[in-house]
Homo-oligomer: A and B are copies of this chain.
Amino acid sequence: MKKGIKIVTIGGGSSYTPELVEGFIKRHHALPVKELWLVDIPEGKEKLEIVGKLAQRMAAEAGIDMTVHLSYSREEALPGADFVTTQFRVGMLEARAKDERIPLSYGVIGQETNGPGGLFKGLRTIPVIIDIVHDIERLCPDAWLVNFTNPAGMVTEAVLRYTNHERIVGLCNVPVGMQMGVAEALGVDGDRVRIDFAGLNHMVYGLNIYLDGNNIKQQALEAVADPANVSTMKNIAALGWEPEFIRALQVLPCPYHRYYYKTEEMLAEEQAAAEETGTRAEVVQGVEEELFALYADETLRTKPEQLEQRGGAYYSEAACSLINSIYNDTRDIQPVNTRNRGAVAGIPAESAVEISSVITKDGPRPIAVDELPVAVHGLVQQIKSFERVAAEAAVTGNYETALLAMTINPLVPSDTKAKQILDDMLEAHREHLPQFFQSEKV
């Protein structure tokens, strides 16, 4: 029998780490985390030290038997790990700001996980994740990789297609946000609402909606369509839907769907915000600085309330729930990014989908939903095509493949503009895209 659990968190210096620590503390009885290793790159030392010490104070305050280790070496941290969580950002918020600013300068949506920004975040992140997976296969092959790192769908797709490590789950807080949004619109407690989720990461739909087990989809869609009940994420403008559109769609869209079904308004909104307050990355940079100032306060021994504003609501919830369900073989249902296995008809069996799954000790088992409704099937397919081509570009560093991914992205208006944005962004992110500049390595 296991003595205690070892967790390794890559990108441990993230401002989200206190969320995770709090989650482990709350669940310590059922999920006895004995070692928590926070790993980061040397450039992140200052932040890791601040966050790490806060984590240690939190564990001490809680009086639980969990030691928090800081490390700059996966070689040192990974052996013996039961779960590896990833929450890093290659190029940090500075790179994200470029992902937002450059497309905007071409009149194109600039966003962390969608459009050209999402593509470049994938190009930067996927090679690093694949390196981590190779380390896991070597140093702790039985460990589960719980990936928070965005773009989580593309990253999961890449790991499933380009590595042999089967134990990966991609996580996102969008589905639980949708559940809470519906509950709020209906004026009921969140845990009375259940949703059958299926689709892709940041392109997930609620196929059915239940209150106390009873299917109340129509009522819920009406509530969501009501301009009075606009629900969204911290990082997405709260633009309301056309009620007739939601009624016709017959499924619940996620907040990110606004980039596709309200492209024009979202672009205008982004452009205005960029001018007035800065892009989301620029706003977050300020928030982060404030957070780290708080974290550094040695009298702080619990998660500060201000973290809630950062945008990661339910992240800890999603991660700790998943880890707990795997560890304890609870077989409850959670929405995760996992291998499709035929659950969504028309998506390859080996591709990643975001879908309500039974969580077992042997991993998630997606619940079959058959075909998605005709009207949403096409967009989902288009984004999956994009994700697959983008993942290939990330792995191969092939310029033409990257241009293909950029051009087929539905937010990019032409091959010519795709090429201009691609060239600009390749140059801007050159430092973090060695696979595209290998010939220069000599």
Measured between alpha carbons, how far is A242 from B406 in the docked complex, in Å? 13
Residues 331-357 of chain A: 1 if any B CB is under 8 Å from the residue's CB, otherwise 0?
111000000111111100100000000
Chain B residues whose CB sits within 8 angstroms of the CB of A247 once the complex forms: 400
Kindly report how many copies of this chain are found in the complex they form together: 4
B residues within 8 A CB of A344? 342
Q: Shortest distance in angstroms between A12's beta carbon and chain B's nearest beta carbon?
A: 28
A389 on interface, CB distance cutoff 8 Å:
yes
**Smallest beta-carbon distance A175→chain B, Å:** 16
Look across to chain B and name the residue whose beta carbon is closest to the beta carbon of A350.
B370
Q: Which of B261, B343, B375, B377 contacts A343 (CB 8 A)?
A: B343
Verify if A404 is at the interface (C-beta below 8 Å from B): yes
Which of B210, B212, B241, B340 sits near A415, CB closer than 8 Å? B241
**Contact of A228 with B by CB under 8 A:** no
Kindly state whether residue A232 has any CB partner on chain B within 8 Å.
no
Given the complex of chains A and B, what is the CA–CA distance between A385 and B378 in angstroms? 5
Q: Does A213 contact B (CB under 8 A)?
A: yes
Expressed in whole angstroms, the Cα–Cα distance for A408 and B386 within the complex equals 17
Q: How far is the CA of A348 from the CA of B94 in the complex (A)?
A: 45
**Complex Cα gap A67–B384 (Å):** 55
Query: What residues of chain B lie closer than 8 Å to A87, measured between beta carbons?
Result: none
Cβ-based interface call for A263 (8 A): yes
Contact A248 B401 (CB under 8 A): yes
> How many chain A residues touch B (Cβ–Cβ < 8 Å)?
72
In the complex, A279 has a CB within 8 A of chain B: no
Q: Which A213-240 residues have a C-beta within 8 angstroms of B?
A: 213-215
The minimal Cβ–Cβ distance linking A417 to chain B, given in whole angstroms, is 6
A341 touches B368 (CB 8 A): yes
A385 touches B389 (CB 8 A): no
* Contact B407–A410 (Cβ < 8 Å): no
A263-B414, A349-B345 given; A400·B368 CB < 8 A: no
In the complex, what residues of B have CB within 8 A of residue A261's CB? 407, 414-415
Complex interface: stretch among A19-27, A95-103, A308-316, A359-367: A359-367
Q: Which residues from chain B contact A69 at a C-beta distance below 8 Å? A: none
Partner of A362, one of B215, B378, B389: B215
Other A-B pairs, 9, CB within 8 Å; known A242-B418, A264-B414, A378-B384: A212-B329, A213-B360, A245-B415, A249-B404, A331-B333, A341-B369, A374-B385, A375-B389, A379-B385
Q: What are 17 A-B residue pairs whose CB atoms fall within 8 Å in the complex?
A: A210-B329, A210-B360, A215-B362, A241-B415, A245-B418, A248-B403, A262-B414, A262-B416, A264-B414, A265-B416, A342-B370, A346-B381, A374-B388, A375-B404, A375-B408, A379-B385, A382-B410
